[in-house]
Amino acid sequence: MSQPTRVAILGLGQRGLQHLRSLWKLQSEGLVKITALIDVFEDNLAETKIQAYVDEFHLDSIYTSADFGETLASQSLDAIYFALPPGVHNGEIIQAANAGIHIFAEKPMSLYLNEAVEMEGVIQENGVISTAGFQQRYDSRYEAVHKFLADKQPVMTTMVVNGPLEGHSTKHTKTETLGGPANRVWTANFEWSGATVVEGGIHQTDLMRYWFGDISWVEANYIHRDASDIVDDGNNPYAYSVRFGFECGCIANLILSRLRQTYYSDSYESILWTHGHLKFEGNNVVAYYYDGPYPPDDTPTKDAVRHILPTSPYVDSTEEISRAFVRAISTGDSAQLKSTFASSMNSLAAVLGANASDQLDGERIYLKDFLAAPRYDRFRQKPTMVH
């Protein structure tokens, strides 16, 4: 059996702790050795705090530090998980890839396309293994959709997600010390989260890419929050209407809302191919299509066209993406990864492009232009003074 993969996590907040929980399990199976935990706010590294999130966790020989560069220099690592708020990266992924360390980058990999392109370039140059945190591709229901649609021509998908602004959980970054929200709910704030399409909607966007392939263009219009209606810096728009055009010719509607004082949430999905509808009904993935002699003598009933798709048993997708990442490292084979950093760039460009389209009054933005055309320069740049 190969040596356990020596891993570190940068950022022990909500997501870093979820990864630590999975890695703690993988460590008990001899697959990884949790070697270092790094967080700029040292109390997020306290054993007693972490124990509240990871059963039976103990620091033992795990190295802890607030200093990324010093940890990189002093510890022997194979892989690092990056779980920072997406606007605060400061060259850490680039330093790690240049040191030959494999990269697990949480989504969105950056709020700034130029920064993400630079990260991608350095990952490629160094030939390190990488994945982006799109664990939903490992969810058995979404895999079932992927398999079912493989030989079909999708035409249109609509995904609606309504969530209350107050539904965002409190985060572990002490944003109040960094000029951010006093209540630490940075996901409700535009400057910190890049808005809901980038922070949350990138998951639906990436799932659609898993099913239909790459996105060619985006158009978006948002209803922005009234300045008099902003509480605790929660200034993200009320509602978002985004259209994606896929290279395969299908279109998608991504409709999101984050209202305040409603405490209501729901969601809806309709996935259409040329001859049927796919829906999620509870834990079932259901396809509605007619497969008898055509034309039928009588109009088929809803029951006659209802087909529950076969799905594999439930898995913890956060654990599953880590298993795939660690396996890719130990075998040197990235082919089993459902989302590499490079392959995830289209999802990131699509959601950042949505923000740009909204600012340009719903202009259709082709992602190949968004990545390079001077017209979109200002939307790709990282501002010099952030946080």
Ligand X SMILES: NC(=O)c1ccc[n+]([C@@H]2O[C@H](COP(=O)([O-])OP(=O)(O)OC[C@H]3O[C@@H](n4cnc5c(N)ncnc54)[C@H](O)[C@@H]3O)[C@@H](O)[C@H]2O)c1
User: Is there binding between residue 20 and ligand X (CB under 6 A)?
Assistant: no
Pick one of 23, 77, 80, 84: the residue that binds ligand X (CB under 6 A).
84
Q: Which amino acid is at 148?
A: F
From residue 124 to residue 163, the character string flagging contacts with ligand X as x (rule: CB under 6 A) and all else as - is ---------x-x----------------------------
Binding segment for ligand X (CB under 6 A), chosen from 85-93, 277-285, 301-309, 365-373, is: 85-93
What distance in Å separates the CA atoms of residue 358 and residue 299, rounded to the nearest whole number? 44
Nearer Cβ to ligand X (14/126): 14
* Complex with ligand X: residue 201 or 353, whichever CB lies closer: 201
* Closest separation in Å from C-beta 275 to ligand X: 33
Residue nearer to ligand X on the CB measure, 3 or 384:
384
Specify the stretch interacting with ligand X by CB under 6 A; choose among 7-15, 142-150, 270-278, 334-342.
7-15
Answer for the pair 78, 185: CB distance below 8 angstroms, yes or no: no
191 binds ligand X (CB under 6 A): no
Least CB distance to ligand X at residue 75 (A)? 15
Sheet with strand 154-164: strands edge to edge: 306-308, 284-288, 276-281, 266-273, 154-164, 251-259, 239-246, 215-223, 365-366
At residue 270, φ and ψ (nearest 5 deg) are -135, 115
109: DSSP letter: S
Interface with ligand X, residue 37, by CB under 6 A: no
The minimum distance between CB 369 and ligand X, in angstroms, equals: 26
User: Does residue 102 belong to the site contacting ligand X (CB under 6 A)?
Assistant: no
Residues 275-334 that bind ligand X (CB under 6 A): none
**209 scored as a contact of ligand X (CB under 6 A):** no
State residue 63 phi and psi, 5-degree precision.
-80, 135
71 scored as a contact of ligand X (CB under 6 A): no
Enumerate residues 6+ apart whose C-beta is below 8 A from 160. Answer: 255, 256, 266, 267, 268, 269
Among 6, 15, 102, 380, binds ligand X (CB under 6 A): 15
Helix 341-359 to helix 201-212 angle (10° resolution) is 120
Between the two ends of the chain, the Cα-to-Cα distance in Å is 45
SS3 content of the chain, % helix, strand, coil (to 5): 40, 25, 40
Q: Is 40 in the site for ligand X (CB under 6 A)?
A: yes
CB closer to ligand X out of 71 and 154: 71
Residue of the chain from 83, 145, 354, 365 that contacts ligand X (CB under 6 A):
83
The distance of closest approach from Cβ of residue 317 to ligand X in the complex, given in angstroms and rounded to an integer, is 9
165, 258 contact by CB (below 8 A): yes
CA-CA-CA-CA torsion sign (181, 186, 187, 190): positive
Give φ, ψ of 364 to 5 degrees: -75, 125
Listed ranges 79-87, 148-156, 274-282, 361-369: which one lies at the site for ligand X (CB under 6 A): 79-87
Q: How far is the CA of 369 from the CAs of 111, 179, 349, 359, in angstroms?
A: 18, 34, 10, 16
Determine which residue in the list 78, 106, 115, 191 makes contact with ligand X, applying CB under 6 A: 106
Q: What is the CB neighbour count within 10 angstroms for residue 278?
A: 24
Q: Which stretch binds ligand X (CB under 6 A): 166-174, 225-233, 265-273, 298-306?
A: 166-174
At 173 the three-state DSSP class reads coil
Q: Does 21 bind ligand X (CB under 6 A)?
A: no
Number of residues that bind ligand X (CB under 6 A): 24
Does the footprint of ligand X cover residue 6 (CB under 6 A)?
A: no
Give 85 or 353: the residue with its C-beta nearer to ligand X.
85
Under the binding rule (CB under 6 A), the answer on residue 86 touching ligand X is yes
Which segment (115-123, 169-177, 282-290, 353-361) binds ligand X by CB under 6 A?
A: 169-177
Task: Output 77 or 287, the one with its CB closest to ligand X.
Answer: 77
Task: Tell which one of 4, 16, 154, 181 touches ligand X (CB under 6 A).
Answer: 16
Angstrom distance (rounded) from CA 276 to CA 155: 10
Buried b (16+ CB within 10 A) or exposed e, 334-368: beebbbbbebbbbbbbbbbbbbbbbeeeeeebebe
Q: Contact residues for ligand X (CB under 6 A)?
A: 10-16, 39-41, 44, 83-86, 88, 106-107, 133, 135, 171-173, 199
